[in-house]
Structure 1
């Protein structure tokens, strides 16, 4: 048994990108409940398109929110309200880009507890809170910083080494991973 543990530790040291996830357990958020955002996301005019554009104001990961409402009408939408200031944002599902219904999207975006990003370096924490991708980030850190890329471009992000994000309606950003870490991407440092 100690030999198996030794090989596991050596494997983690050789490829830390495959370390155990720090993401909180997946839940089924309900209207009226208080939660924490699982990722940083952008919104324009108080609307976040689940296509996941990187324009507009930022709500950082671990923002405490109340799930005001959730409906399946018109592809699904939910309204989140910040606990600290009462600001509301409508999350609009775009099923052709998420391959999710609104309940699945809520589960992807919300958690019962904060994500312990303090386990990362200060630079990575700042980038995640700002919604910025950085060279060397793991796939999990990239998801925390930017959320999931649209499925029309990257159907199974955890299995793919190339992710394509929509920056806005007209521009895309391709991110390349090697050994589970970002090694290439336009404008990344």
Structure 2
């Protein structure tokens, strides 16, 4: 059976209308909280979360307003200042989903308050320690970039403190941190004893 051309164009219009709400979700503006400790130069927060000179850590749980979207970025307001969270290395994630990773609805402070003191202190210092869960590592260090870590259930996550300072977080069979592999200087920056 052949479909007349006018029916086909009507089907395409209907399909476009159905997909419009999905495209609109990337423009969603909302208030929330920073999922994790993130480093900023004052205007830009990269998903690489490098620890470079001049950057300060914005603590997990900081109130954040998503104000709009740009090319590979989520525009936010933090403490009254405009910033952008850049999707520099996780571009396989849709921008709306990327925004929801970093700006969450529930304040993580309530969960953190229930953790053992050693874990709380490590998260506060943007470090990791033995026994942390994946969620606790995310709060302390941010998300590992998806281009290098496509499976968050993997037993190894790769992070970088800078372009040349990689460290790898190992998880045991129970999903808890069992160690970190890196050079001694980077280890001092990321590991809490």
Same fold (TM over 0.5): yes
How far apart, CA to CA, are the structure 2 residues paired with 1:102 and 1:36?
17
How far apart, CA to CA, are the structure 2 residues paired with 1:107 and 1:99?
14
Shift of 1:45: 4.1
Native 8 Å contact 2:170 2:179 kept in 1: yes
Local SS of the residue matching 1:105 = helix
Q: What TM-score results when the alignment is normalised by the length of structure 1? A: 0.73
Q: What stretches of structure 2 of length at least 5 have no aligned partner?
A: 1-24
- The one-character-per-residue Cα deviations of 1:32-74 (angstroms, maximum 9, x if unpaired) are x221111111122421111232442111111111112212x2x
How far apart, CA to CA, are the structure 2 residues paired with 1:39 and 1:28?
21
Q: What stretches of structure 1 of length at least 5 have no aligned partner?
A: 1-26
Greater length-normalized contact order (CA 8 Å, ≥ 6 residues apart): 1
Aligned to 1:50: 47
Aligned length: 155
Native 8 Å contact 2:26 2:69 kept in 1: no
Shift of 1:149: 1.1
How far apart, CA to CA, are the structure 2 residues paired with 1:34 and 1:169?
32
Shift of 1:105: 0.7
Aligned to 2:64: 65
Larger radius of gyration: 2
Shift of 1:29: 8.2
Q: What TM-score results when the alignment is normalised by the length of structure 2? A: 0.71
How far apart, CA to CA, are the structure 2 residues paired with 1:170 and 1:100?
25
Q: Taking structure 1 as reference, are residues 86 and 141 closer, same or farther at Cα in structure 2, changes over 3 Å only?
A: same
Local SS of the residue matching 1:125 = helix
The CA RMSD measured in Å over matched residues stands at 2.2
Native 8 Å contact 1:150 1:166 kept in 2: no
